[in-house]
């Protein structure tokens, strides 16, 4: 049977095996999908061993995405832009192809929620790996402007300069931000420490769409905060997780699974509904 897995550390709580098993059942593909948690300095060896032993493809998650970028034979254009790899496929001619489906997953999830990206003014919070992966797919949707704000302003400036050729992207400090924005995407890891990005409440209005790449069994700190200040449309990163997985599955198997039912089952599994 064709073997796939996700590399991460820690990875025990990953939902990828659950998601891909449902995709495989739905599309009647024969495959198995497991977990691998190598020590941080043993990822390269573990990856080699997996493919030497017949593995067909893998996902890569924190903290290995940047390392995976350096270990594959060939990069997709979107992985090259993202500077990180979350999906690897062994091609028929034995080449390890590195791809990045995170940004495509975000855009697919935004669209499935009915969010219009064309001509919209988008605020992206954070300038780490998650923000970098999102930039090219977001700019491809032709927003009127994309503003990056980050606690360390120089990192936002660097990212804006790097993606400037793809569209109207600028960097501003949190203090400089002036509304109205149509969409705010939180790519920071602030909520992992129970913190909030230092965003002025005045930027939140009833027609704004709020997206937090994080998710949990209950509202993230950022989503609770945005609701408190009047946001009516809030979305967490669970849909992005399923959509990036669907994109990876498509890369591997050449068949696109449906995501709606899988997302519903995942929510049930997490106790969200
Ligand atoms: P990831 O790969 O998930 O993006 P990362 O590369 O470590 O993770 O980036 C984390 C992002 O969250 C950074 O933009 C970070 O801001 P700094 O560049 O200033 O470090 C941001 N971040 C983390 N904690 C934050 C907080 N409490 N408030 C605001 N931004 C925060």
- 267 given a catalytic annotation: no
Residue 74 Cα to ligand 1 middle (Å)? 29
Nearest residue (CA) to ligand 1, atom 14: 126
- How far is Cα of residue 145 from the mean position of the Cα atoms in its chain? 21
Residue 150 Cα to ligand 1 middle (Å)? 8
- How far is Cα of residue 162 from the mean position of the Cα atoms in its chain? 19
Q: ω into residue 63 within 30 of 0, thus cis?
A: yes
Binned at pLDDT 50, 70 and 90, residue 193 comes out as confident
- Say which residue the tokens 């935004």 belong to: 110
Is 0.85 surpassed by the pTM of this model? yes
Distance in angstroms (rounded) separating the CA atoms of residues 127 and 135: 10
Relative orientation angle of helices 129-139 and 102-112, to the nearest 10 degrees: 60
> Is the distance from the beta carbon of residue 127 to the nearest atom of ligand 1 less than 6 Å?
yes
Q: Tokens for 50, please give them.
A: 């997996």
Mean pLDDT of 17-28: 98
Q: How far is CA 224 from CA 126, 166, 195, 221, in A?
A: 18, 33, 12, 5
Q: ω into residue 126 within 30 of 0, thus cis?
A: no
The H-or-E segment that residue 146 falls in is strand 145-149
> Is the distance from the beta carbon of residue 26 to the nearest atom of ligand 1 less than 6 Å?
no
Q: ω into residue 238 within 30 of 0, thus cis?
A: no
Residue 90 Cα to ligand 1 middle (Å)? 32
For the CA of 126, the closest atom of ligand 1 is 14
> What confidence tens digit (pLDDT) does each residue in 66-107 have?
999 999 999 999 999 999 999 999 999 999 999 999 999 999
What per-residue confidence (pLDDT) applies to 31? 97
The residue from 56, 65, 80, 267 that is catalytic is 65
> What confidence tens digit (pLDDT) does each residue in 132-152 have?
999 999 999 999 999 999 999
- Say which residue the tokens 């992206």 belong to: 124
> Is the distance from the beta carbon of residue 191 to the nearest atom of ligand 1 less than 6 Å?
no
> Is the distance from the beta carbon of residue 195 to the nearest atom of ligand 1 less than 6 Å?
yes
Three-state DSSP class for 65? helix
Binned at pLDDT 50, 70 and 90, residue 272 comes out as confident
- Say which residue the tokens 């940004």 belong to: 103
């Amino acid at each position: 049977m064709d073997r796939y897995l996700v590399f991460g550390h820690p990875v025990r709580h990953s939902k990828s095996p659950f998601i891909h098993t449902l995709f495989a059942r739905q599309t009647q593909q024969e495959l198995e999908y497991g977990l691998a948690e190598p020590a941080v300095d043993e990822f390269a060896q573990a990856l080699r061993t997996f493919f030497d032993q017949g593995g067909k493809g893998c996902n890569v998650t924190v903290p290995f995405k940047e390392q995976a970028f350096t270990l594959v034979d060939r990069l997709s254009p979107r992985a090259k832009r993202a500077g990180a790899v979350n999906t690897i496929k062994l091609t028929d001619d034995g080449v390890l192809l590195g791809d990045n489906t995170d940004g495509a997953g975000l855009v697919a999830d935004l669209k499935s929620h009915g969010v219009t990206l064309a001509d919209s003014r988008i605020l992206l919070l954070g300038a780490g790996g998650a923000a970098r992966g999102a930039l090219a797919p977001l700019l491809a949707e032709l927003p009127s402007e994309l503003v990056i704000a980050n606690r360390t302003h120089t990192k936002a400036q660097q990212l804006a300069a790097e993606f400037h050729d793809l569209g109207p992207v600028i960097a501003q400090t949190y203090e400089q931000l002036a509304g109205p924005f149509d969409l705010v995407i939180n790519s920071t890891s602030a909520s992992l420490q129970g913190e909030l990005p230092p965003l002025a409440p005045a930027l939140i209005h009833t027609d704004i769409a709020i997206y937090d790449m994080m998710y949990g069994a209950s509202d993230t700190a950022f989503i609770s905060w945005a609701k408190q200040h009047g946001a009516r449309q809030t979305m967490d990163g669970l849909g992005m997780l399923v959509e990036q997985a669907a994109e990876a599955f498509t890369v591997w198997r050449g068949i696109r699974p449906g995501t709606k039912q899988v997302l519903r089952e995942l929510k049930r599994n997490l106790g969200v509904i």
